[in-house]
Structure 1
Amino acid sequence: MTNPTSIQKILSRETPKNGEKSHFVIKTTQFRPIAFRVFTKKYNLNLNRKSLECLSTYVANRLGSTWKTNCESVLDEIARTWKRMHESTPIVSHELLVPILNSLTVPHEPQNVELARMPSIDPAAVLNRSRGSEIKVNVDVKSQFKVIDAFKMPYYEYQSSRRFFERSTKKLSLLPQAESFTNMYQRRLQVIQHRISQNDAFQSTSFHRTFSNGGQTSITPIRSLLGRAGSDFLLFGQLNLRPDGKPWLEDLDSQVELDVSQCAWGMGWFFPGCLVLVNGQFLENGKFLVFEVCHPPIEKRDATLRHQANLDTLGLNLDTNQLAYIRRAEREFQNAYFVICADLHLDDRQTFIALEKMLGMYENNIDELPVTFIFCGSFYSTAFHNTGTSLQYKEHFNEFATLLEKFPGICKDCQLVFIPGPNDPWTCNGISMLPQQPIPPYFVNRIRRVSKNAIFTSNPSRISFFSREIVIFRDNITGRFQRNSFHVEKPERPTTSDKREDASSLEVHQTQLKRKLVKTLLDQAHLSPFLHWKRPVLWDYDYALSLYPVPDCMAIVDTSIPAFNVHYAGCTSFNPGALIVGNYISWQEVRPLVKQVKCIKEHL
């Protein structure tokens, strides 16, 4: 262990030649509030007296008289480094702090080369840089593109006592213990509950406007309803159905039957398994008369990361300076784009004609190739079976490899990402458990030989591109929402037979449909917020379906509905639809750095 007295030696390395800052002293009473704001409020870390004095000495020698305006950036980097190295230790001890300060003082490269995508940056250089100066960056776009498999995402466990997400060392399993089943639903509820507790509007009187009758602004636990009949309450919990078909609401402690005969349903879908805010009155018969139901309020990505700064759901291990460097670098690549398409039925000859035409358009424009082609399944028109289908399935992928050989520019310079669909391997009668495993290597060996950039990943999967997080999820989820919804809206019939009004009515309906879809998923903070008997999920890996924090972009690949793109809560959500629709082929170009989506349609 490093000798505590060596801190003075460490700090002396940064003393300027003129010695101006070497004698600068920061009063502990001035330094403590800033350190508390960064370490305790932002990172949930506790400082003792010795570690606080150590930090103040370090900052004084490093920043001198400018410490008040610049020290938060330095403290933020120290706190992040502590969380990476001593995540399970919430108390910052002097003995363990000294080596960290030493490592930040001496220029170094990141220890984890695979995860850290950028070299470390001298914080002093960042702090001394004028705002108007132009920084030249030299970044390889390919180095900023990373696909994260759902089964390799780090698992964060919610600590209810500290209201904080902490990275867990729990060993995950495809066949876990029974307690994982209850933990799955508990984590879903805790994520939303935590999000509500951070919502400013919910804490203010303006939340009255959410409910037309001016309901309560504080959530009442269901167990507290007993003996309080005749009063109005605001509840939060999970909607469910009893065996007799009657709806009920449950939270972590109790449950209550709902009377929805007078209920006004908010925007979105409401179904067994969804988490909702319910406003109503508790009755003498033990039922809860519901006035209104709505989804919980959304929280934007920036707000989440401000109070959960340690939340690194992709496992990239980027510190503050690396992230700042990446954000500056991405300004030079605003036009970088992805191509995404879905339902590539390789047992249909029309699919190969469509793919050849689409790929040919980009091969002929070699100077402006996309960063990646994202091919979403299903890659077979019928559900995969182990007997009889395996050989045909492999042969069709071999044919796809033969087609790719015609486009050497794409195979060499573009990433080819393959995401399985409902009919691909690891399914049973077209129903797969989420997350879905990647397509097995046995079927795609030839594609890997044709293109070294081919990536076969899970469903769903995440893409990290510069500072952006993109979620790709292949599922015909709209129909499942419609089939299981408590409240089915009947479409209004046009008052006239005019065909133009019919077309306009259909367009309005489709617009509402896609907005409901996006709002429901993001408000629920989950890609599959159903009960297990409606949509099977691997219990230990349910966290990989979480949408907390809200991603920058989200591909909801649902080929049962037309293509769309919707902006909501800072997230750009899009759906490329099916590759072949009638006599047309369609796909989308996505520019994630500027959150723009372009739908392309060509004659087959």
Structure 2
Amino acid sequence: MSTSLPIKLQPSNLRPIAYRILSKKHGLNLKTDALAILTETISYKFGFEWKSVRSQQFIEEVARIWKLEDRGLFIDGAGLKQVLKELSKKKDSEAAGETVPAVAGRSDTVVDIVEEEEVPEEVINWKDYFKVINPNQQPKYKFDRHRKQFNLVSSNSIPGHSLMSKTLESTVELFYNRYNLISDRLSRHENFQKASYSNVSSLRRLALAGSSIQGLSASNEITLIKNVLGRDGSKFILFGLLSKNSAGDFILEDSTDYIELNISQAYKAEGSFYCVGMFVIVEGIYSANGGSSNQMNDYIGGCFHVSVIGHPPAERRDVSNENYGSLDFLGIQGNAGSSSTLAKVEKTLKINKPWKKKLIALEKSLTTHKLIMLGSDCYLDSFRVMDGLKKLFGAIETSLEDEFSEPLAIIMVGSFISKPLTPTNSSVSTISNSEYYKSNFDNLANILSGFPNIIKTCKLILVPGKNDPWQTTYSLGSSNLNYLPQKMVPNVFLNRLERLFPKGNLIRAWNPFRINYLSQEILILKDDLMSKFKRNDIIFEHDLELEEQLLEKEKKEMGNDEERINKLVLGQNGDVHIPEKIKQARKLVKTLLDQGNLQPFLRSLKLIDPNYDHVLRIEPLPTVLILQDAGVENFEVTYNGCKVVNIGRLIGNSGRRLNYAEYYPSGKRFEFKEIYF
């Protein structure tokens, strides 16, 4: 420590030096509380030499450790205290002549430990990083809007609170949490920076070009609704929740207020669905008069005339992880069975960059690993389905004899019965219904017993659908009355299957659920999303005008055979024609990922358990998102680095063709397949 006497510095004295080193050089942002702590530390350690080279080297060391530990872009007071404590311990250990400080949980020593104990030569057991994670096993992270970071929430974090009070609190915070998270994402987007001078002056042009909101008019800063009031005739960009008031008028809500929207002249950014319950960005002009809400005595907000509406653009997974400090959102690091020193150092909260690189390298080397995903609606009470499964299992059994094929798991998606399992007035009938449902799984066990290689080497994952117990007993198979997340198929129906498989190889999954495979997060959801989006999509007046123009144009071109043929082959702008199936798939994917949630609707469209809302969050984006939507044909779309796939229905209404897909994680590659029986 310096021999200089301590002095009393003010944060304003140190701010220029801290800004030059931490912000300009290392790209970090120092919060006010952290600046106060750093100022106090520098005052004590360096005294009158607070401007010296040694003092600046000390700040450099703080920045180095902060980035090494992947703590994010914002240095806060609590995190800085931990780093300073680690620096102090390191200094003491070096003074005592120790080469490597042996302190558990010390992230600043990761590099030294790796070099000394030669961790790069250690072999990772991939099985420790191949896990099925149900919602009740997934750590709950809550976004802190002040720190701009996620905090791990313990189930016992609020002592004395009942389950009902926790549920009520979670319900109130449901949309508020989504709003804060998307707001934080937008604050990082280059086209929504305060000091941005984007030359894209017309959002309407982007909308007509089929683009999302990428550039805005002269000032593209998002304004809070409370700051709009009193500025009649001014142009603004607003962000908030799109919903309706009691009179049925569209309104936009943010954290400060709400305002009525007039969308009669609005152009929408093409390529997305727009439903109430979604968070949108609108550009338009504020009017102090107009709007039906102005007739209400308690409303003085005026009306916002929307010119363009669009979605908040999604963010790539690696960018989000970098900003949130590479958190271990699935809790896989702490549950792995690895004895690695690096794993011990990082514990459960973060995934260390060197360790992640090792996982990716191992992942790429396991080229024979694959997951087999069957289409949805695997009705076990259907003879056609059982015949198709027998043919598929035979093909998998044969492939297991090939050393170039290693199916790790077979994922079967319900509903596993064609009609909802419902109670009746007669207790005898109820027992019969349950026994009938159980007998279907017994039949599946009988079929699988003839394929010993599958039983020994593959995991069988069962995902429930809307007809499966126990939710179906009150929802009667209705999708909108079915709670999400939906719990697993009860074990009472799977006794024979469980006895057939080795311990741990029969997995009862929730809906949705996640699979962690080394560095990848694979999310699987069974829901009729496409029909839900189409039913609730808002029809703008401009959409109707475009439809009429297209009809008129088609009538004029009907007599010209050459033009008619060209129209079938080429798009309106001369581009190669994109099938309608692909267009709809892209709209679905873009809407879902931009919203950052698997259910971007009001609660009236889907019952959501608020205590598990965090498992519906898709921010950061998963590596792979598998939508088991039986009403849509298979597709594969990649958006912002996230691969989104739909498998389709297991067996169509006609024909004897079974649909499934194989996923090879080493190359992030899907192969859609079908087998005739």
TM-score by length of 2: 0.72
Match of 2:439 in 1: 395
Match of 2:320 in 1: 304
Inter-partner Cα distance in structure 2 for 1:338 and 1:220: 46
Q: Is the 8 A contact 1:362 1:369 kept in 2?
A: no
Inter-partner Cα distance in structure 1 for 2:286 and 2:125: 61
Match of 1:464 in 2: 516
Q: Aligned pair 1:552/2:537, yes or no?
A: no
Unaligned stretches of 5+ residues in structure 2: 2-16, 47-57, 206-215, 291-301, 333-347, 425-429, 572-576
Matched residue of 1:370: which SS? strand
Q: Aligned pair 1:374/2:411, yes or no?
A: yes
Aligned AA (1:211): L
Name which of 305, 308, 313 aligns with 1:289: 305
Per the TM alignment, residue 122 of structure 1 is displaced from its structure 2 partner at its CA by 6.2
Residues 101-180 of structure 1: matches in 2 within 5 Å? Answer: 105=100, 123-124=111-112, 138-171=123-156, 175=164, 176-180=166-170
1:306–1:54 distance in 2 versus 1, CA, 3 Å: farther
1:513–1:44 distance in 2 versus 1, CA, 3 Å: farther
Name which of 582, 586, 589 aligns with 2:662: 589
Per the TM alignment, residue 503 of structure 1 is displaced from its structure 2 partner at its CA by 10
Q: Is the 8 A contact 1:584 1:603 kept in 2?
A: yes
Inter-partner Cα distance in structure 2 for 1:104 and 1:456: 49
Alpha-carbon deviations, 1:18-70, whole Å to 9, x = none? xxxxxxxxxxx8999469988965999946579889999xxxxxxxxxx9999
Per the TM alignment, residue 384 of structure 1 is displaced from its structure 2 partner at its CA by 2.6
Inter-partner Cα distance in structure 1 for 2:45 and 2:370: 44
Q: Aligned pair 1:331/2:319, yes or no?
A: no
Match of 1:194 in 2: 184
Match of 1:359 in 2: 393
Q: Is the 8 A contact 2:379 2:415 kept in 1?
A: yes
Match of 2:280 in 1: 276
Aligned AA (1:350): R
Unaligned stretches of 5+ residues in structure 1: 5-28, 57-66, 112-119
Q: Aligned pair 1:429/2:429, yes or no?
A: no
Inter-partner Cα distance in structure 1 for 2:317 and 2:281: 21
Q: Is the 8 A contact 1:42 1:308 kept in 2?
A: no
Aligned AA (2:310): C
Per the TM alignment, residue 135 of structure 1 is displaced from its structure 2 partner at its CA by 6.5
1:525–1:553 distance in 2 versus 1, CA, 3 Å: same
Q: Is the 8 A contact 1:174 1:540 kept in 2?
A: no
Per the TM alignment, residue 138 of structure 1 is displaced from its structure 2 partner at its CA by 3.4
RMSD: 4.1
Q: Is the 8 A contact 1:305 1:311 kept in 2?
A: yes
Q: Is the 8 A contact 2:66 2:83 kept in 1?
A: no
Inter-partner Cα distance in structure 2 for 1:470 and 1:135: 26
Q: Aligned pair 1:344/2:361, yes or no?
A: no
1:323–1:513 distance in 2 versus 1, CA, 3 Å: same
Alpha-carbon deviations, 1:517-572, whole Å to 9, x = none? 11011000000011111111011211110000011110011010101111110011
Q: Is the 8 A contact 1:553 1:573 kept in 2?
A: yes
Q: Is the 8 A contact 1:35 1:75 kept in 2?
A: no
Inter-partner Cα distance in structure 1 for 2:247 and 2:447: 55
Name which of 453, 459, 471 aligns with 1:409: 453
Name which of 522, 528, 531 aligns with 2:599: 528
Aligned AA (2:281): L
Q: Aligned pair 1:486/2:538, yes or no?
A: yes
Match of 2:13 in 1: none
Inter-partner Cα distance in structure 1 for 2:148 and 2:202: 25
Per the TM alignment, residue 355 of structure 1 is displaced from its structure 2 partner at its CA by 0.9
Q: Is the 8 A contact 1:42 1:307 kept in 2?
A: no
Aligned AA (1:124): D
Inter-partner Cα distance in structure 1 for 2:466 and 2:629: 11
Per the TM alignment, residue 479 of structure 1 is displaced from its structure 2 partner at its CA by 0.5
Alpha-carbon deviations, 1:488-515, whole Å to 9, x = none? 7688677669999879999721111100
1:328–1:486 distance in 2 versus 1, CA, 3 Å: same
Q: Aligned pair 1:233/2:236, yes or no?
A: yes
Matched residue of 1:338: which SS? strand
Per the TM alignment, residue 374 of structure 1 is displaced from its structure 2 partner at its CA by 1.3
Per the TM alignment, residue 595 of structure 1 is displaced from its structure 2 partner at its CA by 2.0
Inter-partner Cα distance in structure 1 for 2:663 and 2:450: 24
Between 585-594 and 162-171, report the one with greater CA deviation.
Answer: 162-171
Q: Aligned pair 1:574/2:645, yes or no?
A: yes
Q: Percent identity?
A: 27
Q: Aligned pair 1:206/2:198, yes or no?
A: yes
Name which of 248, 251, 258 aligns with 2:251: 248
Alpha-carbon deviations, 1:295-353, whole Å to 9, x = none? 00111111111111153211122433322321222221144221111211111111111
Q: Is the 8 A contact 1:275 1:524 kept in 2?
A: yes
Match of 1:262 in 2: 265
Inter-partner Cα distance in structure 1 for 2:61 and 2:262: 57
Match of 2:294 in 1: none
Inter-partner Cα distance in structure 1 for 2:510 and 2:171: 22
Between 322-331 and 29-38, report the one with greater CA deviation.
Answer: 29-38
1:79–1:197 distance in 2 versus 1, CA, 3 Å: closer
Aligned AA (1:201): N
Aligned AA (2:111): P
TM-score by length of 1: 0.81
1:171–1:273 distance in 2 versus 1, CA, 3 Å: farther
Q: Is the 8 A contact 1:137 1:329 kept in 2?
A: no
Q: Is the 8 A contact 1:208 1:217 kept in 2?
A: no
Per the TM alignment, residue 222 of structure 1 is displaced from its structure 2 partner at its CA by 1.2
1:511–1:207 distance in 2 versus 1, CA, 3 Å: farther
Q: Is the 8 A contact 1:587 1:600 kept in 2?
A: yes
Alpha-carbon deviations, 1:261-285, whole Å to 9, x = none? 1111122111010000001111232
Match of 2:529 in 1: 477
Per the TM alignment, residue 592 of structure 1 is displaced from its structure 2 partner at its CA by 2.8
Q: Is the 8 A contact 1:222 1:256 kept in 2?
A: yes
1:372–1:579 distance in 2 versus 1, CA, 3 Å: same
1:74–1:337 distance in 2 versus 1, CA, 3 Å: farther
Alpha-carbon deviations, 1:72-100, whole Å to 9, x = none? 7765555769x9xx997663275576679
Per the TM alignment, residue 105 of structure 1 is displaced from its structure 2 partner at its CA by 3.6
Q: Is the 8 A contact 1:363 1:369 kept in 2?
A: no
Q: Is the 8 A contact 1:271 1:484 kept in 2?
A: yes
Aligned AA (2:420): A
Q: Is the 8 A contact 1:219 1:235 kept in 2?
A: yes
Match of 1:63 in 2: none
Between 508-517 and 423-432, report the one with greater CA deviation.
Answer: 423-432
Q: Is the 8 A contact 2:326 2:352 kept in 1?
A: no
